[in-house]
Structure 1
Amino acid sequence: MQLKQSVGRQGKNLYGDVLAVQKGLNTVPIKGPFKILAEDGKMGKNTQLMIEEFQRTIVKMINPDGRIDPNGRSSNIINSYAQKSATQHSFKYTPMPYLKAAKPTTRTQKTSTTNSSKPKSILYRSNAKKVLSAYTMSVLKQIMQLSNVDSIDISSTLRTPEDQARIMLNDNLVASKNGISVTTHRGYSYGPTGQLVDKVYTDNKAEKTSEQIKALMVAKIKEKLAAGSRTSRHCVTKAIYQSNNIFDIPYSSVSSSKQAEFESILLAYSAKFNKRKFSKGNTTSYTAVQKPIEKVIVERSCWHVELPQTNLQLPTLP
């Protein structure tokens, strides 16, 4: 990081200098309630606060001046962390039989400069609430960078009881139309609470309209939620969701030629992995030094991701 002018309080705050400081600070393991900085080259409140926290906890300045000077002590320490982050991570790739694009190979993570520099786009579909944190977005964009995927969709995030009932009713209607069980249609089974909600459909499909059944499903979901039992991981209060972002990425949003590579990196970032109907195995041999994602579940049509908001440091890239 070579600065032309000072960055921070009373600094010149040139775009390139601010961007370099933001990228550098994102490699430093700063403790406290600080999220990853947006690397936008703008000297905003979050960047200023991060500079001061960095000087207080890492540089050990008693009275932080809130400014990073060219070749100064703070600048040199940031550079030392940036250099340490240049450590390779090896990703072992196993072919996914249900993805035609999958090929057995061994992938070694390359430097970020070799990956696509095109801006990464994360789009919310119509039924997905726009509630993912900046930290979650940064994790996803890093995964996209490593797998050379330019755009993905988010099909589901936080669900209200009404959202959950709509989804479960539709599953039951489709399964009934095709003459199969709802579990077969989904490719997996809900837990005991979800099974009770499905039973609302089974018990009333002969006598009530779809809208009436949906209303009964909503009531059952709310009843169980009030008793501390949720139907779906998605269906929680906003406070709970803010501590653990849960969302779905549909396969259809990633081009077929890149699905396997995207999945391999997604799994490398996850502590737990469950393929469900696609494999008998429930674990993965992928490795990464830091695993911000708690769990990835490969479902019928999407990757289900659970990303706690507790580890607010991104995995370091070489």
Structure 2
Amino acid sequence: MNKIIVLYKRPAGKPALGDFKTEIEDVPTADDGEVLLKTRYVSVDPYLRGRMNDEESYIPPFELNKPLQSGIIAEVVDSNNTLFKVGDFVLGNLDWKEYQVSNGKGLRTIPNDPAYLTAHLGILGMTGMTAYLGLTKIGAPKPGETIVVSGAAGAVGSVVGQVGKLLGCRVVGLAGSDEKVELLKSKFHFDEAINYKTTTDLSAAIKTACPAGVDVYFDNVGGPISDAVLNNINKHARIPLCGAISLYNAAEPVLGPYIQPVLVKKSALIQGFIIGDFAAHLPEATKQLTSWLMEGKLTYSETIYEGFDHITQAFLALFEGSNEGKMIVKI
């Protein structure tokens, strides 16, 4: 039998296990031109929360009582498609199913190298591309400038910091525990890191960590954390707006300081983006990130849950901040 996870209810605020339902169906068969895929690794990401709302966005919302989708590494277990053979590992945006068929569109064969297989969901996948392209194309950092990263111990933030260091910048990370602060400095080589949960005056702490001010702020979080960073930006600062996880589960609009005055005063640029905005640059990003990774100049962390039945728990854990680096479920 084949397990499927569907969106049962649209979350009101923070998602809960009751918003999802596991269903059972027969394992499908591959017709002409199709492949039968067995799910091996599932990526769970904060942006999926937005797709659970029935509202217009840059990507259609999930439908109720239909499978959720995300980046998945799957193994070809049967093939009637000449482009794929049994035993191939493929990457694609696929349903949360143990088994599924595909006509091959949108699938990319990846090397079955145990050392780097899951990296294609993270640092060599959408995560790494988002970090590299958002930082370089919008942040446009120059050697000697200061970069601040919120959500710095997460999948995107940890890559942003490393890329910033490779480009000759001072990098300061904001994270939610002392363990993550130590990880940022010891493993990812951030110049400084701040635990925003235990810091009584975050704006002052950022000022101390960034004596020359903030030239680039890579924003993954939004909310009061970003307000504190904006208090410290320099003239002509650039702010790639990647996400706002602190606000994703708000049931009502959240009011905060108005950012327009500081943006005007500092002649600053803030630009929201999605990875599709830079589709033409994906080959460039893939080549550079792969090169740095193979040369040992980049590293990454993963938090791995095991078992198909734990996909929803892994997703919910993202909003508790319990992950270090990329959150992945191994099936």
Q: By the TM > 0.5 criterion, same fold? A: no
Structure number having the greater helix percentage? 1
Larger radius of gyration: 1
Structure number having the greater strand percentage? 2
TM-score, normalised via structure 1 length:
0.23
TM-score, normalised via structure 2 length:
0.23
